[in-house]
Amino acid sequence: MGLLSLLLLFLVAGFKAHIILAPGIWLLLIIVLLLGTIPFILLGFGIGSLASPSVAPAVANIIYMPLSFASGLLIPLPSLPGFVQTLAPYLPGYQIGQLGHMLIGVSAGGSIWPGILWLDGYTLLFAVFALYAYRVDQVRNYV
């Protein structure tokens, strides 16, 4: 589903917004953005394991929406309060956005490795959370 969403978004970007990038850049963006969803998928697995089916979507929105805003994904970071601007570089959404900006040449440059390491850390953290939540769910439902 993520790939389909990205392809549709890229079609709109290319044809309606007239954004022109080399085919290799489009492909790298797809790879980076799909890999960048992994920490969020793991967080979702954890939430889904701990919360009931009727509550899980609300809990996910309560977590994901503030993370998206605070990462500068929905509102430009300079428009946000100072404390949010200070917090943003430590959030996974910000790191994904920065990697994307580097690929299309919007960012001032720098190394991609800090962003990759932050995302790896979040992936590990959320994987541990998802595993813990899964085990709690198994004990709760099958013991």
Quick: pLDDT tens for 14-25.
899 999 999 999
Residue 110 pLDDT more than 90? Answer: no
- Give exposure, 9-18, as e/b (b: 16+ Cβ within 10 Å): ebeeeeeeee
Q: CA dihedral defined by 25, 31, 34, 38, rounded to 10 degrees?
A: -140
pLDDT of residue 111: 85
> What is the count of structural domains for the chain?
1
- Nearest residue to 45 (alpha-carbon basis) of 33, 37, 116, 118: 37
**Residue 95 is assigned to a structural domain of this protein:** yes
pLDDT class of 108 with cuts at 50, 70, 90: low
Average pLDDT, the chain: 93
**Residue 13 is assigned to a structural domain of this protein:** no
Residue 35 structural domain: 22-142
pLDDT class of 133 with cuts at 50, 70, 90: very high
